[in-house]
Chain A
Amino acid sequence: MIVLVSGLAAGALFAATALAYNVMFSTSKVLSVTTGHIAMLGGVFGAYAITGLGLPPLLGLLAAIIVGALFGYLTDVIAIRRVVSRSDEHLWLLSTLALATIVQQGVGLWWGTEPRPFPRLIPQDFSAGLADQKYWLPIVTTALLAVALELFYRRTLYGKLFVAMSEDTFAARARGIETDRIRALSYVLAGIIGGIAGFAAGQLTFAFFALGLTLTLNGFIALAVGGLGSNAGALVGGAALWLLNAWSSNTIGGEYQNTVSVGLLMLVLLLKPEGLFGARNVRPV
C-alpha cells in the first residue's frame, strides 16, 4: 500500500508537469524543455523563502508561484516569442533547452549542487506513514490543479480564448484575438501550475537543482502516453508512468526504470501516436 501511495505521489508530480506542458502547448504548439525546471524553481524558491528568509509556508507558496509565473513569462519573452514568429522550424527546442540549461546551472551556482531539505508545511510527526503530507500534498494539489484548469477552460473567457487558439491560431487571430498576449498569459499560467506543483512535492523531491530535466522527460512521457492536449490524459499518463515505474523497479530492478519508461513512450508512439486521450487530428486535403 505504501508503495502504491508513494509512487502515486511521484506520478502526481509528473502529471502536474504534463498539465503545464499542455497549457503552453495549447497556445504555442511548443513543448518547452523548461517545463520541469519550473517545478524545480518552485521547490527551491519555496524552500529558500521558508527556511532561508523565515517566511510562513503560505508566503513560501506565494514566492514559488511568483517565481514560477515570472519564469514562465521570461520563457515566452526569451525563448519563444521571436523564435516562433520568425520560423516554422522547431528551433524552439534549442532555445528552450538553452534557457533550461542556463537556469539549472544558475540555480546550481547559487543554491548549491547538493539536494537541500524542504521544510514541513503542516505540523505533523514523521511517523504518520501513509498519511504523511509528503505523499498526499502532491496528489491532492495535482487533482485540484486539474479541476481548476478544466473550470478555467470551460467557464472563463480567457480559458475559451486558450481553447480557440489551440484549435486554430490563425483563425483566432483573424477573429481579433491578441494571440501574442494570450500565449504570454498561457506561459505565466503554466509557470504558476509548475511552481505550485514543485512546492507541493518539495518534501518528496528535496530542493534540488538538477530535478528539472528528470521532470521534463517524465512529464513529457506522461503527456505523450495520455495524449497531447488532454488534461485528463495528463493525469492518466502520469499515473500510468508511475505504475510502470513501480512495477519495473519492483520486478526487474531500478537500473532499468528509465529504459522501461522510455520504452513505454516508444510503444505508445508506435501503436497510438495520439496517446490514450489525444484527439486524432484529421486534416482534410
Chain B
Amino acid sequence: MKFQGRAWVLAAALFAASPAWAQSTIKIGWLSSLTGPLSSAAIAENKGVEFAVEEINAAGGVLGRKLELVTRDTAGDPTKAVSFAQQLVFSEKVHFVIGPVNSGETLATVPIVARAGVPNLIIGTIDELVDAKKYPRAFRAINTNRQWIEAANKYALEVLKKHNVAIIGDTSGYGTSSAKTATELLARAGVKPVYSALVDPNKTDLTDELNKAKAAGADVIMPWSAATGLLGRLINTRGDMGWNVPIVGHPSVMAPAIRKLINKPQYWENTFAAGPVSTTFRPDGKLPERTQALADKLRPRLGGGEIDYLFWWVALGYDAVKIVEHMVKTAGGTDPAAIQKAFESTRELKGAYATYSWTAEDRNGFPDLDITVNVANSLKDGCFKAAPR
C-alpha cells in the first residue's frame, strides 16, 4: 500500500512535470529551402543555425530553457513555405520563425506569421518584406537589396570613376525590380545609364546586349540578377569580345558556381560585387575577429580543410539563432510583445555577420557600414578580398 502510494506520487509528479517540460523549451521554426533552387544558400545557413542551437544548448540553454529547432524544407516553393509556416505557428506553436530563405517565399509567409503574432526573423533581401505597421514583429537580419545596389553604385561611380553605366537585369521579378531600383539610385547620383536591358535568364547569348552597351559608350557593366547561368554568359561574352570593362553588381557574380561556367580563369578578373564586411579579408590578410572566431569553431563541422561554403550564409544562420537568444534574454522570456520591445530597443548587437540595430520604426537591422565591395575571383575559405580603393 505504501509502495502504491509512492507510485501515485511519482506518476502525479511526472504528469505534472511533462507539460512544464514542454513549456520550457524555446521552439524555433526554421523555414529552409534545403533542396531545390537556391538550396546552396540554405544549406550553408543551416550549418550555422544547427551549430548555434547545439552550442547554446550545451551551455545550458537560454534562461534555463533549451532551444528546440523545428526545421521544415520548403524546397524553395512558396506554396510549401506557406503551408509549413501555418504548421509552425498554429500546430507546432513555435516562439520564433526564422526564414524562409528566398524573398519570393518570404513574401508569401510574412503575413501568415504576422497574423499569428509570432516574431519572425527575415533573411530575404527585397524591400517589401518588412513593414513596421503591417508586420510589427518581422525583423530583418540580412542586408537589403538596396544596400547591395548602393554599395555597388558607389564603388563604380566614386572609386572606379566610371559614369557611363550599362545595367543588365533579368526578366524575373527579382531581376526586373532590382534593375529598376538600380536605375533610380543612379538617377539620385545624377547618372543616367547609357544602356539598360532586361534579358531572359535562359537567353543563350549576350553578344547583342554587350555590343550595344559598348556602342553606347559604357565603361562599366552592372548586372542585377541572381541567375548564375546568365552571369556566366555575361562574363564569357565580355572575355570573348576582349572588352576589358569592369563588371560591378550582384553578389551572384562571385558565386562558386560561376567559376565552373567561365571559359578562362582570367575572364573573371576585373569583376566586383557587393558583399558583407564581415567576410571580407582586411588589408593585412586577416578576417574580422568575430568572423575568424566563428570560422575556427565551425571548421571541423564544415569538412576540416578550407571552407567551401559562402561563409556569409553560415554566419547569418549562426547569428539568427544568437539574435533569438539575445531577445529572449532581454525580454526575460518568450512573450511575443516583450520580444518585439526587445528587438526595438536593440542597438549594436555584435554578431558574426553584422552588428545589428532595430528601432520602433526601422525593421532593417543590418547597417550600411557593414557592406562593402569584394573582388569576385578572390574566394578563399568562404570569404573574399576587398575591392581595391
Which residues of A line the B interface, CB within 8 A?
2-3, 6-7, 9-10, 13, 108-109, 113-117, 126-127, 129, 132, 201, 204-206, 208, 210-211, 214, 246, 249-250, 253-255, 257-258
Contact = CB atoms under 8 A, between A and B. Distances in A.
A211 B171 CA distance: 16
B211 A254 contact: no
Contact of A253 (B197, B202, B203): B197
- Across chains A and B, which 10 residue pairs bring their CB atoms closest together, nearest first? A115-B229, A6-B205, A3-B208, A114-B257, A204-B204, A255-B198, A254-B199, A126-B263, A255-B171, A254-B198
Contact of B197 (A9, A201, A205, A254): A254
Interface residues of B, number: 31
A123 to B, nearest CB: 13
Contacts of B171: 254-255, 257-258
B232 A115 contact: yes
B261 A115 contact: yes
A88 to B, nearest CB: 34
B35 interface: yes
10 contacts: A6-B207, A113-B39, A115-B228, A116-B257, A116-B260, A129-B240, A211-B202, A249-B197, A254-B198, A257-B200
B332 interface: no
Contacts of A115: 228-229, 232, 257, 261
B198 A253 contact: yes
B313 to A, nearest CB: 15
Contacts of A254: 171, 197-200, 203
A37 B168 CA distance: 29
A206 B232 CA distance: 10
A258 B202 contact: no
Given A113-B38, A116-B260, A253-B198, 17 more contacts: A2-B208, A6-B204, A7-B205, A9-B204, A10-B204, A10-B205, A109-B35, A114-B229, A115-B229, A115-B261, A117-B260, A126-B240, A201-B204, A204-B204, A210-B202, A246-B208, A249-B200
Nearest to B228: A114
Contacts of A246: 208
B176 interface: yes
Contacts of A206: 229, 232, 261
A258 B200 contact: yes
Contacts of B232: 115, 117, 206
Contacts of B199: 249, 254
Contacts of A13: 204
B205 A117 contact: no
A114 B40 contact: yes
B288 to A, nearest CB: 29
A6 B176 CA distance: 24
B78 interface: no
A4 to B, nearest CB: 10
Contacts, number: 83
Nearest to B256: A114
B37 interface: yes
Residue from A2, A108, A114 whose CB has the most chain B CB atoms within 10 Å: A114
Contact of B208 (A6, A108, A204, A255): A6
A264 to B, nearest CB: 16
Contact of A214 (B202, B211, B257, B263): B202
Interface string B149-168: 00000000000000000000
B242 interface: yes
Contacts of B228: 114-115
B99 interface: no
Contacts of A108: 36
Interface string B167-210: 00001000010000000000000000000011110111101100
Given A113-B36, A206-B261, A254-B199, A3 B240 contact: no
B29 interface: no
Nearest to B229: A115
Nearest to A108: B36
A246 B39 CA distance: 33
Contacts of A211: 202
B260 A255 contact: no
Nearest to B170: A254
Interface string B251-269: 0000001001101100000
B168 to A, nearest CB: 10
A246 B207 CA distance: 12
Interface in B261-279: 261, 263-264
B211 A208 contact: no
Contacts of A129: 240
B240 A127 contact: yes
Contacts of A255: 171, 176, 198
Given A10-B205, A126-B239, A2 B263 contact: no
Contacts of B176: 255
A129 B239 CA distance: 11
Nearest to B37: A113
Contacts of B203: 249, 254, 257
A132 B241 CA distance: 12
Contacts of B242: 127
A268 to B, nearest CB: 21
A126 B238 CA distance: 11
Interface string B111-140: 000000000000000000000000000000
Contacts of A258: 171, 200
Nearest to B179: A255
Nearest to B262: A117
A152 to B, nearest CB: 28
B36 A208 contact: no
A250 B208 contact: yes
A67 to B, nearest CB: 21
Given A108-B36, A253-B198, A208 B229 contact: yes
Contacts of B200: 249, 254, 257-258
A142 B251 CA distance: 38
A206 B227 CA distance: 13
Contacts of A117: 232, 260-261
Nearest to A116: B260
